[in-house]
Amino acid sequence: MTQAAALPPRDLPGLEGRFSRIASVRGTGLDEGLSREWHYLDTGPALSRLGVPVVGTILAVHGNPTWSYLWRGLVAESARIADEGGPAWRVVAVDQLDMGFSERTAVERPLAQRVADLGAFTDALALDDTVVTLGHDWGGVVSLGWAVDHPSTTAGVILLNTAVHQPAGIPIPAPLRIARTRGLLAASTVRSTAFLSATLELASPALEPAVKDAYRAPYRSAARRRGIGAFVADIPVDSAHESFAELERIATAVQSLRVPALMLWGPGDPIFSDRYLDDLVDRLPEADVHRFEGAGHLITEDRPYADAVLAWLSDNFGLVQERGQAAPPESLVPISSEREPSRFVPLWHGLDERRSDDAIAVIDMSTRGGPRRVSWRQLDDKVRRIAGGLSGIGVRKGHRVSLLVQPGATLTSLVYACLRIGAVVVVADAGLGVRGLTRAVRGAWPDFVIGETPGLVAARTLGWPGVRISTVRLSKAAKLVLGVSHTLGDIVTIGGGLAIPEPPDAGDEAAILFTSGSTGPAKGVVYTHGQLSALRDALASHFEVTEDTGLVTGFAPFALLGPALGTRSVTPEMDVSSPRTLTATAVAAAVRESDAGIVFLSPAAILNVVATAGELGRQDREALAGVHTFLSTGAPIGAELLASAAALMPNATPHTPYGMTECLLVTDVTLDGIRSAAAADADAGVCVGSPIGTNRVVVSALDVEGAATGPLSSQPGVLGEIVVSAPHLKDHYDRLWLADRAAERETQSEADSTPGRWHRTGDVGHLDRHGRLWVEGRLPHVLVTSAGPIAPVGAEQEVETVAAVRRAAIVGIGPDGLRQAVAVVETVPPTDRPGLADPNVTRAVRSRTELPLVAVLAVPRLPTDVRHNSKIDRTRLSDWAEGVLAGGKPTAP
């Protein structure tokens, strides 16, 4: 029995009744000769009354079991822009037939019919120019079907948690399998509200009761819920299903779309997981993608999707969303992001140059039975065999290969083999923890996983994606249990007689490296081959690396650059996921074994190396005396700690380069440089020196609210966010388009009229009159007080001059704009009871800084980030201090 379309109640939260419309549409296909009534939301008439420029139309299509209410945020934001005088996008959000407040047709509507229905609807509204489709859930499939059928009208596509293809041999998601079970389908979707209620519970945070009730409004009776059940029944589970052919048609045709695309994704979705996102990225490889970590299926409720959609439209269609500033018509075309090809010397060039050399290339200190030495000839042969073998089992250019292998000869061989065939290396170390590592691997969605046994166990247990390859031989039973398809030995054997494919180009993606996760979920940083080569060249030139130099690399990001630099390298015996496990004797053994001239260590490793210096013997000290360059890399450190490490290497020049995962080398300074800078300027913060090579560093000044809103400037003494540019600056964040947009600026500096790619580091600091950079903390840790923003590091340095203080952190408590400063210190000797510091310590601390401190607290150990153990977790400390000073139990932070 049919039911006519109706207008929704006018009191639904967030939805203005003025946008509701009903249209009578001539039917097609199964509805040939009939008219159907559609309910839809439309901002067009309001835009027309206001007389604002209309850029184009967003055609928004909901899925199951929602309705056009899903898009109320975008409708409201578009209307707000128009009310302010605008140019705006018209938003047309449909209720599909049998759904929402549209007509109940009493006709089964398979996928092909729904695509035809939408076409009939847009014909009735005469939507025939500059349409961007927007779809969620099965509305994503229907909207893509419309897009491929209207190529001359479609200007772009936007997708939220959807799918267009079900991989062979992979069952549909469990919740859908359960819902489709015989006897449960009608009971859960039609006769009851179970399916609808379960969907609404997927929101995170939970929906307000009034919002849940609004979603239920069109589905009050079983008769009005028949479309929900029909949608579930129409999921094509196999090739025999009626809608399978239409889904395949859409999935294939999508690959020919040549329009801008955006995918906004909730990775916590139990239905449309990252598996389906990865498939869509393969079909639309030029799409912008943003994964909202922590969001789920109802991403429109979980995250500010409307802001993201309108920002993307602005970027891609040249729309300036300011009052009265309409973009000229000729700018309403996609903005090209193509880059010109460049010539480069690939990272494996050093291997090619020394392929017949029997000198030592890599030394592995972690093997049983003593150090394992690998010559250049052996390394090159192993790399070529692995490259051929990987190609032989189907690894292709652009495929992602996650490497769950400890630094050493095996990891080095794997990395260079992958790079040679154009596979993208995914490196996320175990220091992220199980949860962080799972996020990283699932976010990158690798095609292949190569791992040692612990990594493969985690991959199997936690459901990580990818064809699994073991670096060690396994029994048949173990291979079956771990889901391992090949061993590295198999790969080497296969590759013995196979040629290596054509190498990648400079602009091709080479690696995804993950940030530490110290200021939020770890982000995947994508480097191209050209950018990695530029990093190698910057490192070689600045530190004068030659084939005879030799490297000891206790800092994971640089542990693999030895072969690229054409010099021998060794990683000291340590747990690379926990730098504090590195000892002075392990560093000395690595130096002695490799006759290394350069030593790279992280700040956390340096702390333990200095602490264990008493264990060094005569031969250890003699070996360390041969080091000529020592670098502390990973986080800026002060002169005192750098000097302590330098005392162990008396003939070395100590350096503390500044960089981050996004740009591993930005500036550099020596210990003498730090001391002379402090004597000349006595600036607040840690001096990290001047830019390396052609790198550029500027700041964006902080405003009174602590936001970096100032123009890029090299003016000395201005506290602001540090912004950098370099040839080896990362290409982009992996599937984090919004983070890219926030961090990268195509602009011009006041001090340099040359435009370039800029990266907002999230660090704060200033430049001095000599152009040296001083780092004063992280942007989220700035204290916004009534007197303005205050960076923490300068005051921390003052506090650390107290003899009883080993390390200090300055954190804020209270509301934004009225933050009060608290000092949290590690004492000497360490306190065994966290809480208020000893009164004598408190008086000494307050006497050393002009910053007014409302309290001084002491802890046994300051909490640090999960990976490098070097960056103090000030956010965590701030929350802890707030609780303690409010009367909470002073447990350790």
Q: What is the pLDDT of residues 27-54, one digit of tens each?
A: 999 999 999 999 999 999 999 999 988 9
Q: Tell me the residue length of the chain.
A: 893
The predicted structure's pLDDT at residue 747: 62
Taking alpha carbons only, the member of 166, 182, 192 closest to residue 250 is 166
**What is the mean predicted confidence (pLDDT) over 178-192?**
86
- Which CATH number is correct for 339-548, 3.30.950.10, 3.30.200.20, 3.40.50.12780, 1.10.10.10? 3.40.50.12780
Residue 558: which pLDDT band, with cuts at 50, 70 and 90? confident
What residues are paired with 653 via a beta bridge? 629
- Spatial contact of 17 and 214, defined as CB atoms under 8 Å apart: no
Determine which of 21-30, 179-188, 837-846 has the lowest per-residue pLDDT on average: 179-188
782-893, which class in CATH?
alpha beta
pTM score of the predicted model = 0.89
- Spatial contact of 387 and 495, defined as CB atoms under 8 Å apart: yes
CA–chain centroid gap for 40, Å, is 36
What residues are paired with 601 via a beta bridge? 554, 632
Determine which of 156-165, 687-696, 859-868 has the lowest per-residue pLDDT on average: 859-868
Which amino acid is it at 436?
Answer: G
CA–chain centroid gap for 418, Å, is 22
Q: Where are the beta strands (DSSP E) in 718-872?
A: 720-725, 732-733, 744-747, 756-767, 773-778, 783-785, 788-790, 805-813, 820-827, 835-836, 853-859
**What is the mean predicted confidence (pLDDT) over 186-212?**
95
The predicted structure's pLDDT at residue 283: 96
d(CA 312, CA 306): 10
Stronger pLDDT, 816 or 482, i.e. the higher one = 482
Q: Is there a common fold for 339-548 and 782-893? A: no
pLDDT digits (tens, 9 = 90+) for 599-653: 998 887 888 899 999 999 999 999 999 999 999 887 777 788 889 988 999 999 9
The predicted structure's pLDDT at residue 748: 56
Q: What torsion, rounded to 10 degrees, do the Cα atoms 513, 514, 518, 520 define?
A: 140
Helices 138-149 and 111-125 pack at an angle, to 10 degrees, of 60
The span from the first CA to the last CA of the chain, in angstroms, equals 64
Asked whether residue 342 carries a pLDDT value surpassing 70, the answer given is no
Stronger pLDDT, 86 or 569, i.e. the higher one = 569
CB atoms within 10 A of CB 464: 24
Taking alpha carbons only, the member of 72, 75, 66 closest to residue 139 is 66
Q: What torsion, rounded to 10 degrees, do the Cα atoms 334, 335, 338, 339 define?
A: 180
The predicted structure's pLDDT at residue 265: 97
pLDDT digits (tens, 9 = 90+) for 127-144: 988 999 999 999 999 999
The predicted structure's pLDDT at residue 577: 62
Residue 516: which pLDDT band, with cuts at 50, 70 and 90? confident
Asked whether residue 451 carries a pLDDT value surpassing 90, the answer given is yes
In a 13 Å sphere around the CA of 169, the CA atoms on its Cβ side amount to 0
The predicted structure's pLDDT at residue 592: 94
Q: What mean pLDDT, rounded, does the chain reach?
A: 89
Asked whether residue 338 carries a pLDDT value surpassing 50, the answer given is no
d(CA 734, CA 425): 13
Asked whether residue 848 carries a pLDDT value surpassing 60, the answer given is yes
d(CA 297, CA 200): 9
pLDDT digits (tens, 9 = 90+) for 291-303: 999 999 999 999 9
Helices 72-83 and 305-317 pack at an angle, to 10 degrees, of 60
What CATH number should be reported for the domain whose range is 17-331?
3.40.50.1820
What residues are paired with 189 via a beta bridge? none
**pLDDT > 70 in the chain, percent:** 94
Taking alpha carbons only, the member of 98, 179, 870 closest to residue 554 is 870
Asked whether residue 755 carries a pLDDT value surpassing 70, the answer given is no
Stronger pLDDT, 170 or 448, i.e. the higher one = 448
Q: What are phi and psi of 632, to 5 degrees?
A: -100, 110
Domain range annotation of the chain? 17-331, 339-548, 782-893
